[in-house]
Chains A and B, each alone.
Chain A
Amino acid sequence: MTEADSKNTPAISTAQTDPREDGTQLRPGLWETINERYPGSMIRKDSYVPLAQLGKPLAEAQLTLISSCGVHARNDRPLDVCHPFGDFRFRRVPSQLRHEDLIIHQLKYPHDAADVDINVIFPIERLQELAAEGVLGGLTDNFFSFIGYSMDPGKFEQTVARDIAKAVVSEERADVALLAPA
């Protein structure tokens, strides 16, 4: 390249937007990537369900926590992280447990930070505080966890989702649910 050529070549900007600084999705295109790598694995809905309204103030409400993070009590059995179609079961996590009582078995997201402090992905101790402070009326006796990876979303809805919903309503009698998809 001659000096004349370089003068006619537009400068290439090396400045790129850093998603850590600009507030956009840190891992853009996640939906497309998962569908490429695991075709048919994702639940997609065509319409919204009607918005359920709070039936009572949060200070009187029983809250439950449901997460796909794969956490369970250390004295409980881990879910199957190796099955190619996924594990269509869930675990109850007693809501009064502490970080040291819990362990994560999941392969599909980084949980090194959550291994150090479970509240990074499953904020059980922070919710205990909010209940003690009266921000929440209380916590259900059990929270819920499962492995989000599944290659059969139809079966997933008819097993894990249905069974957790049934337990949350009829056994735990929750008023509201906080969902933390890992």
Chain B
Amino acid sequence: MPTVSVSVARDVTEAIKAPRAIFLPWPMGHHFGVPFHRDIQRRVLFEALKLLETATESGTIRDILIRWAEVRREAKTLTDQGRNL
């Protein structure tokens, strides 16, 4: 069955040799971003689904280079808008 993994630990994903994975440089427990940030959560899912369709080699890890500082800044903006983070 085709699988795709969402990883924040590239070294662990390399060691277990996942067939397909996207890597995000984000903290443990935040694989899909920050609370209530629907757009970033969906973006991670779309990146994973895209890799399901496009990977041609087992062991493919695609780096999604969205910096954590950027995600946190956007989370702060959500907080400023009154979201209860």
Contacts and interface: CB of A to CB of B under 8 A. Distances in A.
Interface of A: 18-32, 34, 42-55, 58, 109-114, 116-117, 119-121, 123, 126-127, 129-130, 135-136, 168-169, 174-182
B29 A114 contact: yes
A123 B25 contact: no
A179 B11 contact: no
A22 B30 CA distance: 17
Contacts of B48: 178
B28 A51 contact: no
A126 to B, nearest CB: 5
Contacts, number: 170
Given A58-B53, A178-B4, 4 more contacts: A20-B72, A116-B84, A129-B42, A181-B7
Nearest to B57: A51
A76 to B, nearest CB: 21
B52 to A, nearest CB: 6
Interface string B1-39: 111111111111011111110010111111111111010
Interface of B: 1-12, 14-20, 23, 25-36, 38, 41-42, 44-45, 48-49, 52-53, 55-59, 63, 65-69, 72, 84-85
A21 B31 contact: no
A120 B11 contact: no
Given A21-B67, A58-B49, A109 B29 contact: yes
Given A51-B58, A113-B35, A116-B84, A177 B2 contact: yes
B20 to A, nearest CB: 7
A174 B1 contact: yes
A112 B53 CA distance: 33
A18 B68 CA distance: 10
A54 B52 contact: yes
A136 B28 CA distance: 27
A118 B56 CA distance: 32
A20 B19 contact: no
Given A43-B16, A44-B16, A54-B53, A23 B65 contact: yes
Contacts of A127: 45
Nearest to A136: B49
A52 B35 contact: no
Given A119-B32, A126-B45, A27 B27 contact: yes
